[in-house]
Structure 1
Amino acid sequence: MLLILSLGLFPLGLVAILASVQSARDNNDKRAEQTLSQLEIEAQRLTALLSHSSGTIRAASTAIALTAVDSRICETTLQRLARAQSSVGRFALYGDNNVIRCATPGFIPFAVPRADGRRSIVTIGEDGSALRFALFSDDGDVEGSGEFTRESLAELTSIAGGDSEFDLELIDGRRTMTLHDGYQPRPFEQFVSGTVPIVDERLQMRITLGAIPISIVELLTILLPVMMWIFAAIIGWVILDRLLLRPLLRVQRAVAAYQPGDRHLDLPTLRTPAREISDLGFAFDRLTQTVARHEGDLEAGIERQSRLVREVHHRVKNNLQVVASLLNLHARGSPNEDVAAAYASIQRRVDALAVVHRNHFAELEENRGVALRSLISELAANLRATAPASAAGMVIRIDIEPFQVTQDVAVSVAFLITEIVEFAMFCDAKVVTISLVAAGAGAGSARLTIESDALRGATPCDPQLFERFDRIVTGLSRQLRSTIERDTDSGRYALDIAVFDRT
């Protein structure tokens, strides 16, 4: 969200920054224009000084040449030059044959040869301490010469009431005269420099000064968009966090803390102008109430269904027990032993089915399946109780690990054990051993083993009985989706059955 706000405000901030930078550039350009204008003024002053001096000397040169040596016109001209000049200079005036007629006290004229036929020369002294000039007649004779010291020119070109932090130089080829030396470069500071020609482009004047520094107002103008950008992003983030994100987070925590079965959603008090968030919380609350009502209806429906299933199993078990009791009565009241044995055989199978329903009814509340240990134990007790007189001494041993199976598997296992144990009874078995252990094939299966001396191949028994027994056992193993393994040498029958994982 902060990134989105920053991107949204970025164009405005960029435009404001560019406008501020352009304003600073305009100020610097204005400073450069002012600097060049000031440089032009200084150049005009120096040019005017040289022009006035040259004009005065040339005007007096003819009169000096025509007057006697003791004439006062030469000294008068020097006085006129001294009074009329804004800068103190020193001059020398010449007569015929390049003879000095008069000179400013202390001035030693310099001999400068005429160059390129020019009527005047202007040059900077070798040590850069003075600006020298010389005037020539048409015949090449020297009319006059003079010089202005660096100090006098510096005073002439000074900026009254202005900034003194600038450099002003006169340039004559490789020679340079520094008139002002006040500019000190600073790190990261820009500077303005300009050059103009003077004295018919025989000299150049150059000025260098620092650019207008960015003022506090300009700096604030440049930084203000950035600060506004940052503050707008921060304020936007704070508003979103306080008024949107935090209330949403509180609603989220309340929803996350909701547990199935709770009747109401414990919504926090939301102080936010965003009504949509409060409406969202109320919508969640109504949803939880609706879910709670539906869960209550489902629980009531499941409870009714559980009672109905328990009632069905209970009635089936009772009906099976009634049928088993009737068969037992008929078996006891029958005068024919074969009929009594047939009734007893049917009774044992009905008992096996009743045992399955009783054990399934006992485990119905926890929905763990049918426990084979209690089922086989009870089934073995019923088989011993209904054994014929010839098998009254038969022993049934059980070694059952705690496993649970589905009702369909329990029914098939109960019928399989009943068939094998009954066959052993009719074949004069002494001992029947029933074991149930975990199968080596892995979780989800167990090995059921029934072993008896009546299951050995050498044991004499009715062939028709064995054929019927073998057909029933094979069919029951198919119902268990397994293959029964017969070991007639040891009298062992074994097969794998599907069980629930005990983990």
Structure 2
Amino acid sequence: MAPVSALSRLPTGAKLFITLSIALLLLALIAIGATLQTGRLADSEVRARLRIAANESARNIAIELSGDINALRVAVAALRGDPADAPSCARAQGVFAQQATIGTRFSIVDRSGRLLCGVPLDTRIPDDRDDPVDVRILNHRGLIVTVAAPGGAPIARVVFPTAFLARLVGSGSRAMPLGTALIDEDHSLELTSIPGQGPLERTETVQTDLGLGGLQLRTSIRSAPITSPFLVALLLPLLMWAAAAGLSWFIVDRLLIRPLRLLRASVAAYTPGEVIDPGKLGPLPAQEIRELGDTFRAISRTVALHEAGLADAVVRQTKLTREVHHRVKNNLQVISSLINFHARGAPSADATAAYASIQRRVDALAVVHRNHFAEMEENRGLNLRSVIGELASNIRATAPEGAGSLHIALDVDPFLVNQDVAVAVAFLVTETIELAMTCDPAAQIRVAVKPGDEEKRAKLRVVSRAFVESETLTHLLSTRYGRVMEGLSRQLRTPLHHDPMTGAYEIAFPVMGRD
């Protein structure tokens, strides 16, 4: 499965090239095999002719040499009994008379080296063999045969020159020239050669034993040469394989894969709202690719129309939301004005204080709503520094007459929160400040918002001496403020901590970030 998985991850062009290469390579190998088989058949015919010619040449030279050796044996045997046997010497001279015209020489000597018959030979070879018949190659100049009588004397030697031996084996015909050579254990004697043999020509060689003391005849014949037509026939399938695979890959890559790649890049760079124009890619060669490009163009136009409709809908929705926020803001201002109007006509101080308390909470909601409307364009969240700063100003403005020396110190980091958190924090700040004013109108209040112990969380801390444990504080918490503050803490999903020793309220809440 691993090769299949690796192949599936390759580009289409590579897959096509590999597939074509494998398919066409099989055909190329079949063609090469057929060419080599034709060459082998031709070589088989050449080897058959070579065996016939080699056997005929070996038979000719073996018959000639065997006859001459037998003649020498007869002469040696006769001269051993009578060294002055002239008829036996004459018969031996008659045997070699015709061969003497081309350089064949023989001699028969006794144990002391005295010439008994023939001509003196200046050739010296060591007598290191015990065989009565010894055949050796003589210094690449010919062949020397030694025949010894029983007991080692007399000894007959005959030297056959290369020209005589070459005439015996023959040189073949013009259509089938032969290369021949006599070889023994240590030397070789070339008799005939193949004329005009080039470096790329091949030869077939066979060795035939002559049955004369290990002497062999090596015969060579020209085989089918490695010619230009043979090389072309051998290499042409490979060239055709490479050309067909490369040309097929080039055509498919240019006509199919490359246009698809360009079209894919155009689609990948598509941005909603634009229209894909395949015409910018140049002429697309395939009808199917052109139709695919037209399909992408139609789809992109449809998407562009939908995008335009969505953009118009967003604009209308934004306008409608702005109008709703504007009306809510106006309604909160109207409610605040009505509460202020009724507060001025209240029959008692308690009623006036109640109206002021209600107005502070309406103002807290209005501040959050106003800041949310201002931040709505970027949807970044509400800045608590602005919200709490405006709340503090409104609370100072609506403070009762007994709280004229009220001082609210702010230390608020610019954290961003969503509207729900902002409403809960604004009401909680309002409730705690009003609780402090009610307990101790001259108390100093410090409101701080700092980073919390966890990421994306902040901590609200309201500190005042009015929050130190007292009967007044306990009564107000149990009858009025405690339940409201506990409900706001549940809205923030975090417990509200009260430290009665230091006079502080503390609560953690989630934030969106910092401005």
TM-score, length basis structure 1: 0.77
| Residues 178 and 220, structure 2, Cα contact 8 Å, conserved in 1 | no
2:189 alignment partner in structure 1: 178
Question: Which SS does the other structure have where 2:280 is aligned?
Answer: coil
| Residues 137 and 188, structure 2, Cα contact 8 Å, conserved in 1 | no
Q: Classify 1:166/1:388 alpha carbon distance in 2 versus 1 (closer, same or farther; 3 Å).
A: same
**How far is the alpha carbon of 1:455 from its aligned partner?**
1.7
Mapped pair 1:228 → 2:240? yes
2: CA distance between counterparts of 1:52 and 1:465? 150
| Residues 24 and 214, structure 1, Cα contact 8 Å, conserved in 2 | no
The one-letter amino acid paired with 2:43 is: N
Q: How does 1:46-445 map to 2 (within 5 A)?
A: 46=61, 49=64, 78=94, 82=98, 124=135, 127=138, 129-130=142-143, 148-159=160-171, 160-161=173-174, 166-169=179-182, 178-180=189-191, 182=193, 192-196=204-208, 204-208=216-220, 212-265=224-277, 267-427=279-439, 428-439=441-452, 441-445=453-457
Question: Which SS does the other structure have where 1:374 is aligned?
Answer: helix
| Residues 346 and 352, structure 2, Cα contact 8 Å, conserved in 1 | yes
Q: Deviations over 1:141-196 (max 9, x none)?
A: x9x9977433211133241547878342166xx68762427589999997533133
| Residues 167 and 208, structure 1, Cα contact 8 Å, conserved in 2 | yes
Q: Deviations over 1:39-73 (max 9, x none)?
A: 1332344356569989999xxxxxxxxxxx999xx
Question: Which SS does the other structure have where 2:207 is aligned?
Answer: strand
The one-letter amino acid paired with 1:227 is: L
**How far is the alpha carbon of 1:11 from its aligned partner?**
0.9
The one-letter amino acid paired with 1:437 is: K
2: CA distance between counterparts of 1:381 and 1:175? 127
The one-letter amino acid paired with 1:279 is: E
1: CA distance between counterparts of 2:447 and 2:215? 130
| Residues 327 and 343, structure 1, Cα contact 8 Å, conserved in 2 | yes
Q: Deviations over 1:191-245 (max 9, x none)?
A: 5331335589996433246754422221222111121222222212322332223
The one-letter amino acid paired with 2:442 is: A
Structure 1 unaligned residues grouped into runs of 5+: 58-68, 94-99, 109-120, 137-141
**How far is the alpha carbon of 1:393 from its aligned partner?**
2.8
**Aligned residues: percent identity?**
37
Question: Which SS does the other structure have where 2:445 is aligned?
Answer: strand
Counterpart pick for 1:453 among 453, 457, 465: 465
Q: Classify 1:122/1:152 alpha carbon distance in 2 versus 1 (closer, same or farther; 3 Å).
A: farther
Question: Which SS does the other structure have where 1:268 is aligned?
Answer: helix
Q: Classify 1:492/1:153 alpha carbon distance in 2 versus 1 (closer, same or farther; 3 Å).
A: same
Q: CA RMSD in A?
A: 4.6
**How far is the alpha carbon of 1:285 from its aligned partner?**
2.2
1: CA distance between counterparts of 2:183 and 2:232? 39
Counterpart pick for 1:6 among 12, 21, 25: 21
Q: Classify 1:438/1:126 alpha carbon distance in 2 versus 1 (closer, same or farther; 3 Å).
A: closer
Structure 2 unaligned residues grouped into runs of 5+: 1-13, 73-84, 109-114, 123-131
1: CA distance between counterparts of 2:432 and 2:506? 11
2: CA distance between counterparts of 1:444 and 1:30? 95
1: CA distance between counterparts of 2:186 and 2:351? 151
2:125 alignment partner in structure 1: none
2: CA distance between counterparts of 1:80 and 1:273? 92
2: CA distance between counterparts of 1:448 and 1:258? 48
Farther-moved stretch of structure 1 (216-225 vs 26-35):
26-35
2: CA distance between counterparts of 1:216 and 1:264? 57
1:501 alignment partner in structure 2: 513
| Residues 166 and 192, structure 2, Cα contact 8 Å, conserved in 1 | no
2: CA distance between counterparts of 1:270 and 1:199? 86
Question: Which SS does the other structure have where 1:194 is aligned?
Answer: strand
Question: Which SS does the other structure have where 1:373 is aligned?
Answer: helix
The one-letter amino acid paired with 1:297 is: G
| Residues 384 and 414, structure 2, Cα contact 8 Å, conserved in 1 | yes
Counterpart pick for 1:36 among 51, 55, 60: 51
2: CA distance between counterparts of 1:170 and 1:296? 102
| Residues 348 and 418, structure 1, Cα contact 8 Å, conserved in 2 | yes
**How far is the alpha carbon of 1:448 from its aligned partner?**
0.9
The one-letter amino acid paired with 1:27 is: A
1: CA distance between counterparts of 2:288 and 2:262? 14
Mapped pair 1:486 → 2:501? no
Mapped pair 1:470 → 2:486? no
Q: Deviations over 1:318-373 (max 9, x none)?
A: 22222222122111112132222222222221221122211111111111122212
2: CA distance between counterparts of 1:32 and 1:461? 127
The one-letter amino acid paired with 1:219 is: L
